Structure 1
Amino acid sequence: MADPGKPADEFSAPGAGKRFVGVQFRLKNTGTATYSDSPSNGAQVADSQGQQFEATIADISAGPSMSAGVRLKPGGTALGWIVFEVPKSSKLTTVHFTMDSGFADQPAEWQLS
């Protein structure tokens, strides 16, 4: 995780009172069919107050962003950063990810330390 995430260029900046946070995801298709999705649609972070934040379109200097359109054959992998814009005062506690643009039946959740 990159918190705060430094903008990758001088044209990108979080809004007043906010910061960028980047979470790096590695996706691997362990199934038998091609996986096609926009991973940022199913990604969220949540803070200690229970507020959830959706991904935003931004690049940070930590590394390349996750592609907006990921297409993986069985066994294929994708690696990239998904960026969130959150209030400077928020203490993030969890990362949520749900495949199929957030509509899959089995969401994943990771605790942040």
Structure 2
Amino acid sequence: MRHGSHTGHGGPRRVVRTARLLLVPALAALLLGAGTGGSGETVSLDGDRPGERLDVTLTRVVDPAGPAPAPGADRLVAVELRLENTGTAPYADSPAPAAHLLDTTGRRFTGLSAATDAGPALPGTLSLAPGGSATGYVVFRLPAEARPAAVQFALDAGLGDDVAHWSLS
């Protein structure tokens, strides 16, 4: 695994390279302590295909993102992402399963393409020509006691080698 720390607008960012493995709790705990930037930061991700490059910005976190849940019931948390195709190849992917939210205990929740009170969702399948962009929400269903700690995003439905990581604390 290779870690790269860069400085751009919004402060330091962390891009994590993996060998196409799903993150396990131990890796999630490592990433939670990685000291990455927060909301408003743009991270550039390279895809596996030539010319594939996407700038991803976490612009907002809404918690709760729906009606107040009953005591002990799951709640919705929404994150607004801005995706911009900065590559030379078209981008076509499903952004919701490419996004993950980690809580303070290291549990990992996969994004859903669902309606939310926060605003419009990113479409289930998104296609962007080079230079194109889209902004919308990805929703996560969390247990009542879960506290969001980080958001991650990767190309190829979340299995890409580059993983953007934003700390929420």
Deviation above 2 Å: which 4+ runs of structure 1? none
- 1:54 paired residue among 106, 110, 115: 110
Size of the aligned set, in residue pairs, is 107
SS of 1:75's partner is coil
Q: Aligned partners of 2:154, 2:138: CA distance in 1, in Å?
A: 13
- Per-residue CA deviation, residues 66-111 of structure 1 (Å, 9 max, x unaligned), is 0111000001001110000001111110001011101211010000
RMSD, aligned CA: 1.6
Is the 8 Å Cα contact of residues 113 and 124 (structure 2) preserved in structure 1? no
Percent identity, aligned pairs only?
Answer: 40
Q: Residues of 2 paired with 1:56 and 1:38: CA distance? A: 10
Match of 2:147 in 1: 91
Equivalences for 1:27-106 in 2 at 5 Å?
27-106=83-162
The aligned residue for residue 3 of structure 1 is: 63
Asked if 1:22 is matched to 2:78, the reply is yes
Do the aligned partners of 2:113 and 2:123 also contact (CA within 8 Å) in 1? no
Residue ranges of structure 2 left out of the alignment (5+ in a row): 1-60
Distance in 2 (CA, whole Å) between partners of 1:75 and 1:107 is 21
Structure (1 or 2) with the larger CA radius of gyration = 2
**Gapped regions of structure 1 (runs ≥ 5):** 8-12
Identify which of structures 1 and 2 has the higher relative contact order when contacts are C-alpha pairs closer than 8 Å and 6+ apart. 1
